[in-house]
Structures are given as structure tokens and as C-alpha cells.
């Protein structure tokens, strides 16, 4: 069975064509401009993963941008966001501070993406 996918790994957005066998295993990936596209398509057909970005509240007011430091299962994105929204970040946290370790048991940490150190 052939399946079309848009590669989201880089802004090129290659239109990949994935060939799946009867057990939904990836047989071949066509149209990828680079090998990261092949890896993406293979993962996407088995267990789609996404990096989550958003903002978390700062102790004492305000918000700071955050992200997961690696992709997490796609279906956990909204749950991850809910945990982030309840996690307060110290007002002087440097960029890259881990605010949630191993979020939802995914192996990913949530880290800040803006430097609050020396700002607040």
C-alpha cells in the first residue's frame, strides 16, 4: 500500500511516498531529498513524534517560552501542554533550565528557551 506524507523535518517539506507491506511495515520511502526524510517517514508510520513548544508561568507573574528537548509521542502533546501550564519557573532561570524532567515518562525534558537570568 502506498501512503503520502509531508516530511516535517526541515522547511523543504518533501512529499514522501511510503510503501507499506500488509503488516504496515515500511518497505520503501520515495521522494525524500535526504535520509532524515526516510527516518521520519519510518517513524511516522509506526509512532509519530513531535517536539512541543509553548510557554510556562513564571513564579511571581509573566510567562517564559519552553520546549521539549526531544520529540514526544504525538498523542501526548496536549497532556504535555497541560503539565507545562501548571509548572512555575523561577524568575531568574537561565536559558535551557530543565523545568520538568522526563515529562509524562517520555524521556524528554521540558526546558526554557529564553534567558531570564539577569532580566527579572
Task: Report the interface residues with ligand SF4, using CB under 6 A.
Answer: 7, 9-10, 12-14, 32-34, 36-37, 40
Residue owning grid cell 523535518: 9
Instruction: Tell me 89's DSSP state.
Output: B
Q: In whole angstroms, how close is the CB of 60 to another protein at the nearest point?
A: 13
Nearer residue to ligand SF4 within complex by CB, 18 or 103: 18
Q: In whole angstroms, how close is the CB of 55 to another protein at the nearest point?
A: 6
Residues of this chain that interact with another protein (CB under 8 A) are: 5-11, 13, 15, 50-55, 57, 62-63, 65-67, 74, 77-78, 81, 85, 95, 113-115
Residue nearest to ligand SF4 (CB): 37
Q: What does DSSP say about strands 49-50 and 72-73: parallel, antiparallel, or unpaired?
A: antiparallel
d(CA 115, CA 77): 24
Nearer residue to ligand SF4 within complex by CB, 10 or 95: 10
Sequence-distant (≥ 6) Cβ neighbours of residue 88 within 8 angstroms: 56, 57, 58, 59
Nearer residue to ligand SF4 within complex by CB, 14 or 110: 14
Chain-centroid distance of CA 41 in Å reads 15
Please say whether the beta carbons of 88 and 103 come within 8 A. no
Nearer residue to another protein within complex by CB, 21 or 96: 96
Amino acid at each position: 500500500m502506498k501512503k503520502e506524507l509531508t516530511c516535517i523535518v526541515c522547511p523543504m517539506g518533501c512529499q514522501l511516498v511510503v510503501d507499506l507491506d500488509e503488516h504496515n511495515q515500511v518497505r520503501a520511502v520515495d521522494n525524500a531529498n535526504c535520509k532524515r526524510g526516510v527516518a521520519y517517514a519510518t517513524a511516522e508510520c509506526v509512532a509519530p513524534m513531535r517536539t512541543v513548544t509553548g510557554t510556562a508561568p513564571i513564579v511571581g507573574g509573566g510567562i517564559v517560552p519552553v520546549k521539549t528537548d526531544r520529540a514526544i509521542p504525538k498523542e501526548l502533546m496536549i497532556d504535555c501542554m497541560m503539565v507545562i501550564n501548571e509548572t512555575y519557573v523561577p524568575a531568574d532561570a537561565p536559558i535551557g533550565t530543565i523545568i520538568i524532567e522526563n515529562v509524562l515518562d517520555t524521556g524528554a525534558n521540558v526546558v526554557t528557551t529564553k534567558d531570564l537570568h539577569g532580566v527579572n
